[in-house]
Structure 1
C-alpha cells in the first residue's frame, strides 16, 4: 500500500500573546481555578490579522522549502476553519493566490467545529491513497481565531467568559500531505469515528459563541471513549496503555485533556492513580507544551498537539502516536500514525518554539485596548483600513522580527467593498 501522511508541517502562533495567570489576576478571578486549566499563554489576534493571514503565514515556510516542480504538484488545497470570512467564498482562494500555487488545483473550505483540521487531513490522505494523480500533494491548513464576544442573552447557552477568555487562542497549522510521510505516517484504516447530535457549543452569529460548558465536557469524554472503542474494533489487539507510545488530544485547555486521559485509563486499564499521573506526564504532556502557549485554535488544536508531541517526545526508535479529535455538535475520531527521529529533526528545523518565543507579550492595558479596537474588522465588514498604530509597540516588534531576516509575513492591509487585500512585511 502507498505510504501516506504528513511530509511537512508548520505552526503559526500569531504576533502577540497574554499571560493567562496575569489575566486571571487582572480580572480578579480565583487563580487556583486557573492552575487547573493547565494553560500558560494565549495568542491574541491583532486587528490586521485574520484567518487568511494566519493560514498564509503558517503555510509559507512549508511552501518555500519546495522546488518549483514540487510546488506545482500541490493539486488540492483545503482550508479548515470555523472562522470563515464569507458565507460563499472560500478563504482558500486568497491563500492560493498569495502562496502562488498552480492553478490546476482543487480548493475549498471545510467546517465542523474543532474537528475540521482532522477532516481536512483525512480527506487529503484519501486523495493521495486514491492514486488518481500519482505523486500529487495536498496542502491542508487549519486556521482559527477567537475574536468574538460571548452572547449575553439567556442562561442555558451563555458561555462562561471567565472560563473561555483565557483558553480561546489564535493561530494556524499547515500540513503538506503526500506519499512521503517524513513527519508523520498515518496508519491507514486505523480510524475510529463517533458522532451524534448535541447542542454543546455553536456560533449562532459570526462573531459570537454560545454553549453549555458542562454538556461539552461530557460529550468530549463520551466521544473520546467511544471513538477509541471503535478504533479497537478495527485494529485487532489495540491496548490503550501499550499500543501508543504518545497520545495527543484536541486541547480546549490542558486540564480537560488531563481529565479525559484519567477517565480513559480508569476505563481501559487497571493501574493505580499514581501510575496514571506518571503515564500522563510521559505520554500526554509532550503534546500539551505548545497548546499551553497558544490556546484553543479550534480545528488546528489537535494538530498543534501533534506537532508538540513530535518535537518534545523522544524518538530513539519509531513510535506510534494516538490522536483524538473532537468537534462540537458533534464529530470525533481516534486515529494513529508513526513518527521517527528524522521527522522530528525536520520539524525542529521549522523553529516552532523560537517563533513562539518571538511574539510580543501584551500588557493588560494593551490587551484591553486591543479588545476595544478589534471590532473594526468583523464578519461582513465592507470597508476598513486596519489601524497598525493602535499599539505602536506591537507593530514595531513585527517590523523588528521580519525586516532583514529573510522571513516575510503577511497582514491584512485593507477591506475594500468586502474584498480583502494583504501586504507582505519583511
Structure 2
C-alpha cells in the first residue's frame, strides 16, 4: 500500500503580538494568571493592517515551496481550510495560487483548487482529502499543498477575546513523506450541535460551556470509533498526542478524559487503584447522576497522581508550546500542535523516528477525528529548517491603543485606515480593491 503523509511544513504567524498578562489583563482588571494558568496562554498573534488570510497562507506556502525547491508543476492540488473566508463563491486557494504565480515561473492552471469549511476540523479534512487523492493514484506523481489559515478574532468584550490569534500553516502532502505518515484508520464523532457558529457574520456566536462539553463528547466518540478499526489504544503507545487547541486549558480536559479511557481495564488502572480506587462503572450505580458524580471525583483524583502528571508532561505539554504564544488559529491549531511536539523533541535530543502520534482534531458544529501518524526518518531536517522562534521574536508588541486600532481595522463592518505597525519584507501584502470588489495582492521584496 502507498505510504502517504506530510513531506514538509511551514508556519507563518501574524506580525503583531498582544501580551495577555502584561497588556490585556490590566485593561480588563483581571488577574494575569486567569490567562497564563487558566487558559494557558501568554500572548496572541495578530495580522498587521496589510495582512489577512490570503497573505498569511501565501507566505507560508511560498516559504515551503522555495525551501523545498518546488515549482508549480509539482503541485497537483491546492486545498485551503479556513473559517475566516470573505467570499462565498471564489475560494481562497485561487487567491493563493495567484500570489504564488507572481514569484514562480509557471502556473497552477492544472492544479485542482478548493476551500474546505467545517470550523476548526477543516484543516484535517483537507489533509485527508489530499492523502486519499494520492492513494487513489490520481496525482500523476504530484503532491498536494494543504493550507490552514485563519484570523480567529472575536467581538470586543466577548469571553473568547483572550483566545484570539492569526496565522497560517502550509503542508506538502506526498507519497513516501519525510515528516509523518498518516494512518489509514480513522475514527469520527459527529453530531448536529450549536456550540459555535458564524451565521453570515465575521465574529462568532459562542456558547462557551456547551462548546467544552461538545468538544469532549465528540473526542470520546471519535476515539471509540478509531479503536473499533485500529484496536485498543494505550497511553504509552504514543510519543505525543496533538489535540485541536482553542486554548491549552481545553486540551488539559481532553487529555484527562483520553487518559482515563485508554487506561480502563489495563494494568495502569490496577496500579492506580491502590491510590485512588478503580474507575467507576455505570452498572454499579442506580442512576446516571450518581455515576457521573463518582466519575468526576475519580477524574479529579486521577489528575493529581504522579503517574498521570508525568504522562501529561511527556506526551501532551510539549504540543502546547507554540499555541501558548500565538493563541487560537482555528483550522491550523492541531497542525501547529504537531509542529510544537516535533520541535520539542528536536530541541531536547529525543529521537522519535518510527514512533506514533495519535492526533485529535475537532470542529464545532460538531465533529472530531482521531487518526495515528508515524514519524518518518526525515523529521529532524524538516523541523530544524523552521524559523518559528525567529518569527515569534520579531513580532511587534501592541499597546492597548494599538490593539484597539488593529481590531477595528480587521472588523469587516468598519472602514478604518491605519498605518501598519511593521514594514513588510519578503512577503505578500494586501494591496487594495479590484474593479469587482475583489481583494488584490502583491509581493514586497
TM-score, normalisation: structure 2: 0.84
State the partner residue of 2:419. 390
Moved over 4 A (4+): none
SS of 2:204's equivalent? strand
Q: Is the contact between residue 144 and residue 300 of structure 1 (CA under 8 Å) also seen in structure 2?
A: yes
State the partner residue of 1:32. 33
Structure 2 Cα separation of the partners of residues 46 and 30 of structure 1: 28
State the partner residue of 2:116. 110
Match of 1:165 among 155, 161, 166: 161
* Deviation of 1:148 (Å): 4.7
SS of 1:132's equivalent? coil
Structure 1 Cα separation of the partners of residues 19 and 202 of structure 2: 24
State the partner residue of 2:61. 59
State the partner residue of 1:154. none
What are the equivalent positions in structure 2 for 1:62-101 lying under 5 Å apart? 62-67=64-69, 71-100=72-101, 101=107
SS of 2:378's equivalent? helix
TM-score, normalisation: structure 1: 0.88
Name the larger-Rg structure: 2
Q: Is the contact between residue 315 and residue 341 of structure 1 (CA under 8 Å) also seen in structure 2?
A: no
Q: Is the contact between residue 334 and residue 361 of structure 2 (CA under 8 Å) also seen in structure 1?
A: yes
Q: Is the contact between residue 45 and residue 147 of structure 1 (CA under 8 Å) also seen in structure 2?
A: no
Q: Give the unaligned 5+ runs of structure 2.
A: 102-106, 264-268, 273-301
* Deviation of 1:346 (Å): 1.3
State the partner residue of 2:209. 214
State the partner residue of 1:155. none
CA deviations over 1:281-300 (Å, ceiling 9, x no partner): 10011110111111111111
Structure 1 Cα separation of the partners of residues 395 and 139 of structure 2: 40
* Deviation of 1:13 (Å): 0.9
Structure 2 Cα separation of the partners of residues 240 and 17 of structure 1: 38
Structure 2 Cα separation of the partners of residues 423 and 28 of structure 1: 41
Matched pairs, number: 395
Q: Is the contact between residue 189 and residue 220 of structure 2 (CA under 8 Å) also seen in structure 1?
A: no
Structure 1 Cα separation of the partners of residues 114 and 376 of structure 2: 32
* Deviation of 1:105 (Å): 0.8
* Deviation of 1:369 (Å): 2.6
State the partner residue of 1:156. none
Structure 2 Cα separation of the partners of residues 10 and 65 of structure 1: 10
Structure 2 Cα separation of the partners of residues 212 and 226 of structure 1: 21
What are the equivalent positions in structure 2 for 1:226-375 lying under 5 Å apart? 226-236=221-231, 238-269=232-263, 270=269, 271=272, 272=302, 273-313=305-345, 314-340=350-376, 342-375=378-411
* Deviation of 1:56 (Å): 0.4
CA deviations over 1:397-418 (Å, ceiling 9, x no partner): x34xx3xxxxx11110102341
Q: CA RMSD in A?
A: 1.9
Structure 1 Cα separation of the partners of residues 109 and 380 of structure 2: 32
